[in-house]
Structure 1
Amino acid sequence: MQARQGNTAAATAWLDWQSRQRLLTVNEVADWLQINGWAGNDNEVIRLWQRYRHVMVLPDRAITAAAKSYRNLGQWPQSLALWRMALQRSPNNDDALSGLIMTLSDAGRHGEALHLASTRVQRAPSAAHWGELAWVQNAAGLHEDALASISQAIQRSPQNPQLLRDYSAVLANNRVSRPALTIGRQGELPPAALRQRQSDAAAELVRMAFLPSVTERERFAVADRALASYETLLTRWRADPEAQDDYRRARIDRLGALLARYRMDEVVAEYEDLRRAGDIPAYARLWAASAYLYLRHPDKAEQLYLAVQRDAPQEMRQPEEHSNLFYSMAENGQIAQAQRQANQLSRNAPYYRHLYGSPVPVPNDEWLAAQQLLTQSMLLRDALAQAQRNIERLASTAPGNQGLRIDLADIYLMRGWPHRAEMELKLAEGLGPRNIRLETRQGLVALDLQEWRQADLLADDVMARSPEDSSVQRFERLRRVHHMAELRINASRGIKSDSPVAGAHDTNIDTVLYSPPLADNWRLFSGFAFNQGEFEEGRGINRHVRGGVEFTNRVNWLEAAMSGQNYGRGQKIGARLSGWHDVSDSWRIGASAERLMARTPLRALTNGVTANGAEAYLRWRPSESREWRLALAPGWFSDGNRRFEYRLEAKERLYSSSFLTLDFTPSLSGSHNRRSDVAYYSPRNDAALLPALTLDHLLYRHYQTEWHQEVVAGAGSYWQKGESHGAITTLGYGQRVLWNDVLEARVMVNWDKRPYDGVREQNLSLSFDLNYRF
């Protein structure tokens, strides 16, 4: 009795002493085996079994005790042999059959174990038999079948603590974590198992936090519940020495809740702290990679994604993970690798997939996701026309897919077609007018079309509903930039010049400051210009102060200004009115009229000659790779001269890639003057044809920060009435920087050589342009 109650030492000591004095009886040997088995002395049980099995015929209880010890020690063949021996003696020994079933399962012989357990439960469907069948099914990985079996056991014995513990384990294996925790508490789980269930329940909330919510207001409700649960668990386990493994696991799983809550800085900080303390599982490294990508650290994100793809490729099974890897490569400047990633995904994803139990194949969402990534890879290579064709094909075959229509509108906007983009988004609006991504793109199109009020309304709406969305933040950033003041500076300095137009050592500065928008459509501005050059008759200086108002609305721009001009002969008052109208995405017409026009040569002003003028132009821009512009500009000089100028210029894209663009930029220009016997350069008739090439090389890009270098080279011909034809040669090199949407600056060195009145003159100058929003 004492041994049954746990006091096994006295009984085993007495039996050991008796075994040295005499031959023990069969029952005494059986007792000795059983008592050592209760004490967990499996090696002693095996020693006694081997000592007495050939000396006497031991009873079934001795055989089962030895079988259990062999099983505990992982010696499956010996254990199975003893269980079968016991069943041969007593075919109705249910405990021996249970031992045989469990040992077969432990040995990995799941088929035999399942057959025996299923046959028995059909013969005698008791709670214990259903429970053991569930145990075997669970060990065989048949978790759903195990759940059905353990449910049968619980129905027959709902208060059995062991069955409740088994029920909790089966629920946990089926990832039904919250009920598993509730049942586990009823079954009085050991502390370690209970902590496991608590961790599983919190992790289940993390998984649910990434699922779409019923309403936008509830999208963070589950994530907040998960974070609250982890706060409680971490506080409880922090100081418990036995719970440190569970404490670390909870910290790791909490990263997912922080990610779902868009607390990206906390995700990164906690990940780095955990990483310093030990290895991080692959699924948590993917969370950290996503946070790094969101925080614009694509280099760290790419490293993590590639490491998981190498070490645990099964974790990269979601299309979202492959998409994030693609974008991390792209944003990190690894365009070739991103292209290979997109091509590989598109090759590996079949158009159809087969669902289990269905004879009819269904379209594969992963194929569509791969095609969309392939389109993005085309955009990275600046192959906009190819990307457009691809997405148009996809959108035409899936008219109910709103995302594809939005993607198509994005490409239209990139190609400079805001009207087409607007129409495409209007079609997409019928599929879900409150879609965040749709409204964001509509806002970007509104900014391009100068629909300022509409853009503000859309920005306010999406920022109120989803301020954590990166595309929404991008839209809000552009809206805020639009509402800033603007400073424009254009300057040039002649280093070496013999030009009769600009003079030697010429200096030109033009500065304009615009106010933030007023009442959506208006801006006030003021400006100052300074021109200086050295001529044969002396130094020419012109100071030009102006102020006015700018008006913009949908597809229209208008600017009116008054100016004061001082060029050494008193103060003159001038005025300017200019504007343009976009007829369509491709066509624009513009015109201007000036009193004291800005194109008046400085040498004319130096000699007391002023001019009024006008200009009209027509621009045709069918796409980003082609643009033609024709301008006609008459001028009326105060000395009686009448000038008429024309200019035809074009841009034809010859080559484009991720980092290089090469454009053919020819121009044809000319003028007619009524008088040529004047102090300033005024040929009776002249014309210039200048074919040129412009190369733009992207040296560095990190989101909205770019650094370019530019090379311009051209060679053409100049004709002037009364003079022989002459060659024109031009070269230019410059660098351009764009920063954070608010700054664009360019410095360029230009050299050209061309004839004036039959004499070829060369000009070397330095130019500087700045556009700054603040």
Structure 2
Amino acid sequence: MASSSPPWQALPAFARAFRAVVFCLLIVSAPCAGASAAEESLRAKRDTAVLLARDGDFKEATRQLAQLLEANPTATGVRADLLVVLQWAGRSADAIDTAAGLDPAKLADFELLAWARALRAERRATEALSLLRPRLADPGRTPDAHALYALLLSDLGRSADAAAYIEPWIARSPGSAELAAAAAFVFRGAGRPMDALAVAQNALQIDPDHRELRRQQVFALSDLAAAHLANDMAMAAPGLFDDAELALLAGNMAGQRLRWARVYPEASPERLELIDTATATLEVLASVPDASAAHLRGRFDLVVAYRMRDRMAETIHEYDALLDAGIEAPVYVRHAAADAHLAMRNAGQAAQLYRDILRDRPRMSSARLGLIYARIESEWFGGPLWVADDLSATSPAFIGVAGTNQHVANWPRLDADLSGAMLQAYDRRLEDAQRRLETLSADAPASAQIRRQLSTVYRWRGWPERALAEIEIAQAYEPEIIAGRQELAAVLSDLGRHAEADRVIENLHAEFPDNAAVNRQRTAWRDRDRWSMSVDAEYGDSDGFTGFGSYDRTVSTRVAAPVIAHRWQPYGLHAWRDARYPEGTAREQRIGAGLSWRHQRRHGYVELHGNAADSTGAGVTAGYDWHRDDHWSFATRAESDSLDAPLRARPGDLTGWKVEGAARWQAHESFSLRGGLTRLALSDGNVRWSTLVGMQHRLHANAGRLTTGSAELYASRASREGGLYFNPASDLAAGYAVTHERLGWRRYEQSFSQRFVLGLGGYWQEDFGASPTGFLRYEHEWRLGRRWRVTYGTGFASRVYDGDRETRIDGRLSFEGIF
């Protein structure tokens, strides 16, 4: 309990009057006692100095008393007066030095209290207790002694003992403001701010101008979550609090605003205003160098405020500044820093911080979940899923409210269930994740959080329309949640509603420019405003059958312009191919431009192209494809000068018109069927009809591996036989291939993976019978970031045409980039 005013001013008026009377009686009674003139003179000088001190002139008072003591070194009364005045003046160390040689038993109460207060001011509470304790046995002692004794107990960390000691004295001395002020201080230290406020307010009714009571009233209000009122009262009383105490009250008010902010929805204006106001206050407090506990707590709260406002880089910077200063942060500050590292994709640092937290709080659910996601981002899935399942299994779904028969949802348990479901989804166990989330949603249909994650899983399963139904319900419940708005934008994008997705994304970024997740989504979305290019190159060497040539090479390039008005995208294309045949080398080069249109999962395009090199001519390509729902999609395409026309006959100006249609049914991400019909009419009069049906299904999937099986059945028939090119009258091919993809490493958008493909089948050709076929492929894929990808690989194939077996070895290289 400290005061910014001189201690003598805190004495009650009746005590000061009592001392004045005592001094006067001493002066009047001196002649009656037969005192000498020298003693009378000394007493008068002492009284003069003490009166100067009472008037606030401590410097002159101490000077005069020091001179008197120097002239009368054995005068204990002078020494005691100097002790009291020095303590009033705040010169505690000098007061203690002056008290040396005094006998505590012979001192008046107010002199002994001054000595004890000086010891307390110098943090020598144990000595002060020893000095004060003998006087407390006398029941007639002033309540101030009991008040000081309780304060000393509190200073020694014995707050409960202090409160128990002072409580009965409040009832015995209801008119003692000093005792009430001490009790308020002690009760606050014992965690009883309500009792502190009650004591202070009751005593203020008797002495409304008592400084320490007013101060304790304000501090108690601040402790009782009325920090705003407390701060206003402090600002309205200049001089009642020093700068450090004003900073403490302002920090309490900022901390309370942060706690209030948690009550409001994540992105609500009320929450953001509270956080921003608190942050502004804490930034001012943190900018002032100070070593006090209040200043340090303000710095801790500033880290949390930055985290709550999604200012992750600043969160990490402030936390690192604490570490650089050798300050050990409490758990809640380390948790904020861990969350920030996770958001900034520093998974290693985040995991270390979460582990440190769990060493202090082993059952802290939010830290356990944070560690789960940090490990996921480090590409470790099995362990975190076990942790989430254990957390769910060991936590009740509902918890009781103390003192009532009511039960409320156990939110950490829900977080664990949701984390477990999303871990399954990240591990490509989407069916399990869907089942888990649908069960949760059935139990809590009004939970927007469950519906948001269910929407994500539906979207990943290839069902954007189903996802839209879920996220719209979730947004109706919680329209301001950032994650919900991001999921809505993702669903709208998958549905081809790009203008709507753009509005959601841009509005989010305007409202939360510092949010790392919002920025990442917007940056990826704005790739639509950039140019993109893809290049595919292949070289093959064949032996045996010569109908398809040997030493064949192809290069295809496509350059796309930025998207215009969310629907239109111009692009250019280039195709070059050649191959060696018995009669010589044939080659073709095509250059063209096109315009693509996309809206609501409908896609139309038209291309104009011309041929160069050894072939001439121009052509048009047009196509249209669409989705009927989450399962059915269709595509059509027409080419006036198709690249499917055999290259071997291109030098003779062979061309071909191609028309095709296809349909696809997708149950989910793990199973789909497709079929197509093609008509290729060549300029030599030959018309080939072909059909293809296929099936694809997942055989095994987890976060690092994906094995897929695919079966195809192909058949074709030509209207005429013969010709320079391979032209079977009819044929039939069937095959089954297994593709295994293995993730080598990944760090967010950067990754390296390998792909193995093995295919076996058979081929039947009219007049030549059936023969086995097969192929192998091995590829590497490097994702150099979100915008760049390189794939290369080699393959071996063995097939039979016109009864001749052909073996072919090839190499492929492809590149995709956005710039």
The TM-score with structure 1 as length reference comes to 0.85
Report the counterpart of residue 388 of structure 1 in structure 2.
434
1:160 matches 2:206: no
1:141 matches 2:191: yes
* Residue 59 to residue 533, structure 1, CA distance change in 2 (3 Å): closer
Report the counterpart of residue 592 of structure 1 in structure 2.
637
The correspondence of residues 265-664 of structure 1 with structure 2, limited to 5 A, is 265-282=313-330, 283-310=332-359, 312-313=360-361, 319=366, 322-432=368-478, 436-495=482-541, 498-565=544-611, 568=614, 570-606=615-651, 608-664=653-709
For 1:70 and 1:465, the matched residues in 2 are separated by 56
Report the counterpart of residue 23 of structure 1 in structure 2.
none
Report the counterpart of residue 804 of structure 2 in structure 1.
759
Q: Give, in angstroms, the shift of residue 710 of structure 1.
A: 1.0
Q: Give, in angstroms, the shift of residue 602 of structure 1.
A: 1.4
For 2:467 and 2:109, the matched residues in 1 are separated by 84
* Residue 218 to residue 727, structure 1, CA distance change in 2 (3 Å): same
The correspondence of residues 147-186 of structure 1 with structure 2, limited to 5 A, is 147-174=197-224, 176-181=226-231, 186=237
Question: 5+ unaligned residues in a row in structure 2: which ranges?
Answer: 1-45, 54-60
Q: Give, in angstroms, the shift of residue 419 of structure 1.
A: 1.3
Could you report, residue by residue, the CA deviation over 1:429-453 in whole angstroms, capped at 9, with x for unpaired residues?
A: 4435565544433322222122233
Secondary structure at the counterpart of residue 665 of structure 1: strand
Could you report, residue by residue, the CA deviation over 1:601-658 in whole angstroms, capped at 9, with x for unpaired residues?
A: 2123345543323222221211111122222223233334332322222221111111
For 1:592 and 1:408, the matched residues in 2 are separated by 36
For 2:182 and 2:365, the matched residues in 1 are separated by 36
For 2:491 and 2:737, the matched residues in 1 are separated by 33
Report the counterpart of residue 86 of structure 1 in structure 2.
138
For 1:198 and 1:528, the matched residues in 2 are separated by 68
Report the counterpart of residue 31 of structure 2 in structure 1.
none
Could you report, residue by residue, the CA deviation over 1:359-391 in whole angstroms, capped at 9, with x for unpaired residues?
A: 222221222122211122112211111111111
For 1:253 and 1:414, the matched residues in 2 are separated by 39
Q: Give, in angstroms, the shift of residue 499 of structure 1.
A: 5.0
| Alpha-carbon contact 2:572-2:592 (below 8 Å) kept | yes
Q: Give, in angstroms, the shift of residue 501 of structure 1.
A: 4.5
| Alpha-carbon contact 2:109-2:142 (below 8 Å) kept | no
* Residue 507 to residue 133, structure 1, CA distance change in 2 (3 Å): same
User: Which shows bigger deviation, 491-500 or 645-654?
Assistant: 491-500
For 1:108 and 1:195, the matched residues in 2 are separated by 24
What residue identity is the alignment partner of 2:627?
Answer: D
For 2:134 and 2:329, the matched residues in 1 are separated by 42
| Alpha-carbon contact 1:495-1:766 (below 8 Å) kept | no
State which of 752, 755, 761 in structure 2 corresponds to 1:710: 755
| Alpha-carbon contact 2:533-2:557 (below 8 Å) kept | yes
* Residue 199 to residue 493, structure 1, CA distance change in 2 (3 Å): same
For 2:784 and 2:387, the matched residues in 1 are separated by 29
For 2:142 and 2:295, the matched residues in 1 are separated by 45
Secondary structure at the counterpart of residue 449 of structure 2: helix
For 1:768 and 1:729, the matched residues in 2 are separated by 22
For 2:260 and 2:717, the matched residues in 1 are separated by 76
Secondary structure at the counterpart of residue 389 of structure 2: helix
Secondary structure at the counterpart of residue 138 of structure 2: helix
For 2:149 and 2:599, the matched residues in 1 are separated by 85
What residue identity is the alignment partner of 1:755?
Answer: V
* Residue 538 to residue 16, structure 1, CA distance change in 2 (3 Å): same
* Residue 201 to residue 465, structure 1, CA distance change in 2 (3 Å): closer
Secondary structure at the counterpart of residue 691 of structure 1: strand
User: Which shows bigger deviation, 387-396 or 446-455?
Assistant: 446-455
Report the counterpart of residue 22 of structure 1 in structure 2.
none
Secondary structure at the counterpart of residue 491 of structure 1: strand
For 1:96 and 1:571, the matched residues in 2 are separated by 112
What residue identity is the alignment partner of 1:613?
Answer: K
For 2:198 and 2:738, the matched residues in 1 are separated by 75
Q: Give, in angstroms, the shift of residue 290 of structure 1.
A: 3.2
| Alpha-carbon contact 2:343-2:517 (below 8 Å) kept | no
* Residue 220 to residue 686, structure 1, CA distance change in 2 (3 Å): same
| Alpha-carbon contact 2:163-2:186 (below 8 Å) kept | yes
User: Which shows bigger deviation, 119-128 or 745-754?
Assistant: 119-128
| Alpha-carbon contact 2:69-2:78 (below 8 Å) kept | no
Q: Give, in angstroms, the shift of residue 413 of structure 1.
A: 0.9
Report the counterpart of residue 724 of structure 2 in structure 1.
679
* Residue 250 to residue 329, structure 1, CA distance change in 2 (3 Å): same
Report the counterpart of residue 719 of structure 1 in structure 2.
764
Q: Give, in angstroms, the shift of residue 17 of structure 1.
A: 4.2
* Residue 486 to residue 499, structure 1, CA distance change in 2 (3 Å): farther
For 1:138 and 1:434, the matched residues in 2 are separated by 39
For 1:214 and 1:536, the matched residues in 2 are separated by 72
For 1:564 and 1:100, the matched residues in 2 are separated by 101
What residue identity is the alignment partner of 1:345?
Answer: L
Report the counterpart of residue 229 of structure 1 in structure 2.
281
1:768 matches 2:818: no
For 1:107 and 1:521, the matched residues in 2 are separated by 74
What residue identity is the alignment partner of 1:352?
Answer: F
1:74 matches 2:126: yes
User: Which shows bigger deviation, 130-139 or 200-209?
Assistant: 200-209
Q: Give, in angstroms, the shift of residue 247 of structure 1.
A: 6.3
| Alpha-carbon contact 2:283-2:302 (below 8 Å) kept | no
What residue identity is the alignment partner of 1:287?
Answer: A
Q: Give, in angstroms, the shift of residue 502 of structure 1.
A: 3.2
Report the counterpart of residue 24 of structure 1 in structure 2.
none
User: Which shows bigger deviation, 328-337 or 65-74?
Assistant: 65-74
For 1:70 and 1:610, the matched residues in 2 are separated by 107
* Residue 35 to residue 491, structure 1, CA distance change in 2 (3 Å): closer
Could you report, residue by residue, the CA deviation over 1:503-560 in whole angstroms, capped at 9, with x for unpaired residues?
A: 1110112223333334443333332211100011111112223333323222322223
Secondary structure at the counterpart of residue 662 of structure 2: strand
What residue identity is the alignment partner of 2:193?
Answer: H
| Alpha-carbon contact 1:630-1:648 (below 8 Å) kept | yes
User: Which shows bigger deviation, 633-642 or 349-358?
Assistant: 633-642
| Alpha-carbon contact 1:501-1:602 (below 8 Å) kept | no
| Alpha-carbon contact 1:63-1:83 (below 8 Å) kept | no
What residue identity is the alignment partner of 1:646?
Answer: T
* Residue 160 to residue 627, structure 1, CA distance change in 2 (3 Å): same
User: Which shows bigger deviation, 112-121 or 208-217?
Assistant: 208-217
For 1:562 and 1:78, the matched residues in 2 are separated by 102
| Alpha-carbon contact 1:381-1:657 (below 8 Å) kept | yes
| Alpha-carbon contact 2:146-2:179 (below 8 Å) kept | no
User: Which shows bigger deviation, 407-416 or 77-86?
Assistant: 77-86
For 2:480 and 2:294, the matched residues in 1 are separated by 43
What residue identity is the alignment partner of 2:204?
Answer: I
* Residue 63 to residue 248, structure 1, CA distance change in 2 (3 Å): closer
